């Protein structure tokens, strides 16, 4: 029985060049997500504090009560 031979032929690719992208590591994605969450949390808390102060200055008890309920979720620790 004869041995089989395999011949390979190189054909250059003439199509569009594809560039590989490097994945962002999990640690960087997690850190950036945590930083964005903390920034949003602090901004929302600051805005609610300003709304509470404005409602106190105006003397509007209904607005104060509604904003206070939202603010309590930020300080429930």
Q: What are phi and psi of 75, to 5 degrees?
A: -120, 20
Predicted confidence at residue 28, as pLDDT, reads 93
Report whether 48 contacts 70 (CB < 8 A). yes
Please say whether the beta carbons of 55 and 67 come within 8 A: yes
Average pLDDT, the chain: 88
pLDDT digits (tens, 9 = 90+) for 39-70: 999 999 999 999 999 999 999 999 999 999 99
């Amino acid at each position: 029985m004869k041995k089989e031979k395999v011949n390979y032929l190189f054909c250059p690719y003439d199509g569009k060049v594809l560039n590989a992208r490097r994945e962002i590591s999990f640690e960087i994605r997690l850190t950036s997500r945590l930083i964005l969450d903390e920034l949003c949390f602090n901004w929302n808390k600051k805005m609610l504090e300003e709304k509470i102060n404005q409602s106190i200055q105006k003397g509007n008890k209904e607005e104060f009560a509604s904003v206070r309920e939202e603010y309590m979720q930020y300080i429930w620790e």
